Structure 1
Amino acid sequence: MQALVLERKGELSLRDVDLPLAVGPGQVKIAVHTVGICGSDVHYFTHGSIGPYIVEKPMVLGHEATGTIVEVGPNVSTLKVGDRVCMEPGVPDMSSRASKLGLYNVDPSVTFWATPPVHGVLTPYVVHPAAFTYKLPANVSFAEGALVEPFAIGMQAATRARIAPGDVAAVIGAGTIGIMTALAAVAGGCSRVFISDFSKEKLAIAGGYDCIVPVNAGEESLADVVARETENWGADVVFEASGSPKAYGDLFRIVRPGGAVVLVGLPVEPVAFDVSSAISKEVRIETVFRYANIFDRALALIASGKVNLKPLITGTFPFSDSVVAFERAAAGRPTDVKLQIEVVSENA
């Protein structure tokens, strides 16, 4: 079957691959329908690596996926053929110490789609554990279901923040994860979320949501806006979602005394960290790596209608145009938030 293959840094091809599709106990076979293009997919394409994860041989891309179950293995009772589903892309070793602590997202032996050397799912079929496959409610489309994965990161961030009803939050970065984090913060009880970026187009999308206040970083600093709007007290929670080392300069100016800073964006180089300012305010610092025990809750929020992710889908491509879709994603158009590819197998 065909797949979108990252042959090496900077080179993509849509070609035939031979991937294992035998369905074992506790597994299901899924005809893939929609796959979102993640920033990590693009980074592997443009840079060939992310930290210790290096593309050393051809790899199928894609991990934000939905589809339809076409085969069910032994010992699967919660899903059936014909179910529309979304899939949690990381499968941990449930006997590991991390998993036993409920921290399977940081299990060193986790198998995560499209993370070298593990293949992703931009291909017509995939086999996956039923335990990490979730039935889509009737009112959630395939496209929305493919947004559960990035929204789960925002949910993980909001959960780590320990938001209290009425809190004021600030988000640095209005990319996909930044907006997802802002939406999760509002759903978690924040009364206002200030979100900053240099992109007027992305800020316009974020500002279309209730309780989210866009701040153009090219015109005014987020620290100044938050200070003015909170009578110089600061935000209860600050989420760093840009991954930019420059964002760390103002982190502890933005947060209130005793507040929380949640690090979501992953810098590609070491950052300067103002320890003295953090200590003087007794700031609680949290970090986020993917998510754990949250995928079903993210899906439930989307299904409830409390979180509308449809405005974030800014482009949809047929499977035959997968290379074109990635080239556009790599171009970083300011109007693009989330691009998706419809694989749509003939048997789906």
Structure 2
Amino acid sequence: MKSLVLEKKDELSLRDFPAIDREEEVLGPRDVRIKLHTVGICGSDVHYYTHGRIGPFVVKEPMILGHEASGVVIETGSEVQTLKVGDRVCMEPGIPDPNSRATRLGMYNVDPAVRFWATPPVHGILRPTCVHPEAFTFKLPDNVSFAEAAMVEPLAVGVHAATKARVKPGDIGVVMGAGPIGLVTALSALAAGCARVYVTDLAEKKLEIAESLSPAITGVNVAKEDVAALVKRHTEGWGADLVFEATGSPKAAAQVFEPLAPGGCVVMIGGQPDPVSYDAGAAMVREARVENIFRYAHVFPRCVAMLSSGAIDVKPLITRTFEFEDSVRAFEIAASAPPADVKMQIELPQ
């Protein structure tokens, strides 16, 4: 069965992967076997393709990509109780050690032993089937499509960020970055209660997409306008209650406190490959609270419920869909970062 394999930096192929085929013959008593339907292309997948590494995670041998996924249960283990064959599902891609201290404290996402799809040396799921624990597989309501379900993984980042921010009804938020994570963070902040969210970027097309998501979103091109000055004009000089840094840009990270109101909160989301400057004085005079997130924990069911109820609509973020046989071309296009695209997805043969 063919998989999308990152052979090495800048080299992808669609080919059989015998090791995965053998591994997936084993179905544990609390596992389910899933036929993959839709897989999103994440920025981390593209970064492994173009750079061969993310921080300490280095691609040293061929690796299957993909971790944003939905599919159908085709087999269940002997002790599985909540899922059955035919159930449409999405899957949380990080599997922790159930006995680790982090997991027992409820912070399973920071378990050093977590095995996360498409993070070396763990293979991803741009392949026909996978075996996954029942505990990290979530049944979809009938009104949530496979494409929307494959958006639950990035949406989980935004929901986790909004949760850590402790959004209150009527808060004013700023999201730095109008990429997929920035936009799901803006939607999550609004769903959590923000009255208005300012989304910043350099790409006009992405800002247009951001503003199309809700009348409560204001796009700000930071090449033309100072977001801190704009927010203060609109808040009688007070500033934003919340600032979410979702660019991964050192320049943006160095400016997180500028639009922030006294007593406000900054949530660091964007991955920084190197240490960034931190204006301790600006944080101090505001008594700012700073939160950091690493992926997410305990939010997948919340995300599915919000998609089903209509509290969050991710459909406008899905801007292009490719067939599985076009996966290599899809990654080449994604690596070129087209300004009009937010989330590209790949559909596998059914």
| Same-fold status (TM-score > 0.5) | yes
What do the CA deviations read for 1:103-124 (whole angstroms, capped 9, x no partner)?
Answer: 0000000010000000000000
Give me the whole-angstrom Cα distance separating, in 2, the residues matched to 1:123 and 1:227.
Answer: 49
CA contact (8 A) 1:64 1:150 kept: yes
Give me the whole-angstrom Cα distance separating, in 1, the residues matched to 2:220 and 2:301.
Answer: 32
CA contact (8 A) 2:239 2:261 kept: yes
Is 2:279 the partner of 1:274?
yes
Q: Give the Å deviation of 1:278.
A: 0.5
Q: Give the Å deviation of 1:209.
A: 2.2
**One-letter amino acid of the structure 2 residue matched with residue 77 of structure 1:** Q
CA contact (8 A) 1:31 1:344 kept: no
Match of 1:86 in 2: 90
Q: Give the Å deviation of 1:272.
A: 1.0
Give me the whole-angstrom Cα distance separating, in 2, the residues matched to 1:236 and 1:228.
Answer: 14
Superposition pairs of residues 36-75 of structure 1, within 5 angstroms: 36-75=40-79
Superposition pairs of residues 188-267 of structure 1, within 5 angstroms: 188-210=192-214, 211-267=216-272
CA contact (8 A) 1:240 1:262 kept: yes
Give me the whole-angstrom Cα distance separating, in 2, the residues matched to 1:226 and 1:266.
Answer: 25
Give me the whole-angstrom Cα distance separating, in 1, the residues matched to 2:12 and 2:220.
Answer: 36
CA contact (8 A) 2:210 2:217 kept: yes
Q: Give the Å deviation of 1:248.
A: 2.5
CA contact (8 A) 2:213 2:316 kept: no
Give me the whole-angstrom Cα distance separating, in 1, the residues matched to 2:11 and 2:142.
Answer: 38
CA contact (8 A) 2:254 2:276 kept: no
Give me the whole-angstrom Cα distance separating, in 2, the residues matched to 1:182 and 1:222.
Answer: 15
SS in 2 for 1:203: helix
Superposition pairs of residues 1-16 of structure 1, within 5 angstroms: 1-16=1-16
Match of 2:36 among 32, 35, 49: 32
| Deviation >3 Å, runs of 4+ | none
**Is the deviation greater in 41-50 or in 204-213?**
204-213
Q: Give the Å deviation of 1:249.
A: 3.2
Match of 2:331 in 1: 326
CA contact (8 A) 1:197 1:215 kept: yes
**One-letter amino acid of the structure 2 residue matched with residue 334 of structure 1:** P
- Gapped runs of 5+ residues in structure 2? none
Give me the whole-angstrom Cα distance separating, in 1, the residues matched to 2:82 and 2:254.
Answer: 49
Q: Give the Å deviation of 1:75.
A: 0.4
Give me the whole-angstrom Cα distance separating, in 2, the residues matched to 1:166 and 1:246.
Answer: 29
Q: C-alpha root-mean-square deviation of aligned residues, in Å? A: 0.7
Match of 2:289 among 276, 284, 308: 284
Match of 2:151 in 1: 147
Q: What is the TM-score of this pair, normalised by structure 2?
A: 0.98
Match of 2:166 in 1: 162
SS in 2 for 1:251: coil
**Identity rate of aligned residues, in percent?**
58
**Is the deviation greater in 222-231 or in 8-17?**
222-231
SS in 1 for 2:178: coil
CA contact (8 A) 1:223 1:250 kept: no
**One-letter amino acid of the structure 1 residue matched with residue 341 of structure 2:** D
What do the CA deviations read for 1:144-180 (whole angstroms, capped 9, x no partner)?
Answer: 0000000000000000000111000000000000000
